[in-house]
Amino acid sequence: MSKSEAGQVSPIVELARRDPAAAATQLRIVTARNPADAGAHRMLGRLLRQLGRDEEAARAEMDAVRAAAHDPRMITIAQALLANDLPAAEAGLRQRLAAQPTDVAAIRMMAELAGRIGRYKDAESLLRRAIELAPSFTAARANLAIVLYKQNRFAEAGEVLEQVLAQDPANTSSRNLLAATLGRIGDYDEAIAIYGELAQSFPDHAKLWMSYGHLLKTVGRLEESIAAYRRALAVEPHLGEVWWSLANLKTVTFSDADIAAMEAALNSEVSTEDAFHLHFALGKAWGDRKSAADSFRHYVAGNDLRSRELAYDPDTTTRQVDRVIEVLTPEFLEQRLGAGDHTPDPIFILGLPRAGSTLLEQILSSHSAVEGTMELPDIPAIAMREAKAAAGGDPRDWPGAVAEMPAERFAVLGAEFLERTRIQRKTGKAFYIDKLPNNWSYAGLIHLILPNARIIDARRNPMDCCFSNFRQHFAKGQAFTYALDHIGRYYADYVRAMDHYDRVLPGRIHRVIHERLLDDPEGEVRAMLGYLGLPFEEACLEFHRNTRAVRTASSEQVRRPINRDGMGQWEPYAQWLGPLREALGDLVTTYADRPSDPPK
């Protein structure tokens, strides 16, 4: 307790040391006379915990929170937070906590401030401190679950949410977050059950119906997914993300009435987020009708809105590839040969989004020895954390971080990846897939920390691949996809990195050319399984019969046999794709000449 807090109840402090029960009795008198005395409530809560009277302690702790919430100074701080005046809120909170360091309401507000500026580790520490001081502070526990979820620590978030719901079973927002969390760790049946119950309880909650639709789509319940999306639109016709979710199924054809509804929504006052989703959906709608000019107009508008919001700088990717080439020399790699965790279980499928990685995952996960999971965030998280902790502190400079790293650290990081992803493994199969496309940026790190893991590079014709990205709105990440020249430069940097690995680690990465897979499925599948050291199984060619859940935009496409529907879709738009061609340079013409496997 601080001096100021002790001063409020100073006669009781000494009594509390000698006789906690008597002090608690005195504090009950104090709080009855002055229910706004938050310090007295807090001290009473601590003494009751000490005496083992947990239920009474919980009531005292919550009385302290309520008293603090009605404090005029705390109201002023809350108003600053509401107005997003973070400097004023922070100054007020620091002053408050200097005087009353155990004020859990103020600690929770400081955690909210930290979370708003992306300092999730600080927010986590603050919330854990609040819960330590007031174990019954359910709101702080619920906030901790959110912070863990935002750090991609889904298993931990789920455990905290179970604690929240044990204290408050009717907590709707926590049930909603639990469903999202279960979806992220692959417990789809339970997640869908929760969403279904919530949707019935709150039939006019459009975003709840949308989330329900997302999970139904993931497990292949397409008609139910569409019905959930349509139910959301019946509640909020202007909700752009739902229109885009329908478009993103790739199998839905919009009616005249749908197009009119989307155009009307754009002509009304909608948020920027709704607007760019509507533009992407209309781009798809007009493209299906072979109206390339109208389609491209909407794609440009949607991409422009998203690009301004994300402010991607293509030079950052170029610099990262430069660093890979500079640091990961043959000599560097030879000196670290044998480091890392030698577990062979992970299979990484990487490349650009929209390059066929979901198809490869579906093929391989149809094998009896291979489990498909999803796009896992763990390699980038490890890479950025290590880079931030290194001398330069640049979160993208993982090559600089590994250059300083002791050899034994590689095995630690490999083991960490295996442990972090263990929750994604549901079947006991020998191998499992991480198909996050962006892992191409970290292929060298994967090699160093998991030298026996397999790496597959999914590559597609640059014009098809890049234009498919331009037409795709991604829920998060992929900031490079919202300008034609940015996409072209990103593709070129990706090829430059893969060419480097072909030179310094020949044979380490297996390349699958998408068009060759379409031409000769069995030959390419046999080659891929050979690289993995697995026998051929006919089920891999019957991948479309696989009922596993698929989270990506290609979920419905991989539930069909191999087809060429995606080839040449850029051609009707060719007259507007000059910036893309220029950024790609000779890759447009040399793509077909590149071998499917790197030199041995």
Assign residue 413 the CATH number of its domain.
Answer: 3.40.50.300
Which CATH number does the domain housing residue 15 bear?
1.25.40
pLDDT of 3 higher than 50: no
Note the pLDDT tens digit of each residue in 317-370: 999 999 999 999 999 999 999 899 999 999 999 999 999 999 999 999 999 999
Structural domain ending residue among the three candidates 70, 92, 112? 70
Note the pLDDT tens digit of each residue in 475-517: 887 999 999 999 999 999 999 999 999 999 999 999 999 999 9
Could you tell me the sign of the dihedral formed by the alpha carbons of 505, 510, 514, 515, in that order?
positive
Rg of the chain on CA atoms, in Å: 28
For residue 137, being part of any structural domain is answered with: no
> Which ranges in 236-369 belong to alpha helices (H)?
240-248, 256-266, 272-288, 292-310, 314-327, 330-335, 357-364
Full domain range(s) for residue 358: 314-593
Q: Max Cα separation, the chain?
A: 86
For residue 166, being part of any structural domain is answered with: no
Exposed/middle/buried for residue 277 (C-beta within 10 Å: 0-12, 13-18, 19+): buried
Note the pLDDT tens digit of each residue in 423-479: 999 899 999 999 999 999 999 999 999 999 999 999 999 999 999 999 999 988 799
For residue 270, being part of any structural domain is answered with: no
Mean pLDDT over the full length of the chain: 90
pLDDT for the residue 8: 47
For residue 526, being part of any structural domain is answered with: yes
Using a cut of 0.85, tell me whether the model's pTM lies above it. no
pLDDT for the residue 565: 74
For residue 343, being part of any structural domain is answered with: yes
For residue 212, being part of any structural domain is answered with: no
Beta carbons within 10 angstroms of residue 310's beta carbon: 15
For residue 63, being part of any structural domain is answered with: yes
% pLDDT > 90, the chain: 70
Structural domain ending residue among the three candidates 70, 87, 109? 70
The two tokens of residue 14 are 């000494």
Give the number of domains in the chain: 2
Structural domain ending residue among the three candidates 16, 48, 70? 70
For residue 407, being part of any structural domain is answered with: yes
Average pLDDT (267-292) is: 95
Sheet of 509-513: strand order equals 370-374, 431-434, 346-351, 454-459, 509-513
pLDDT for the residue 336: 95
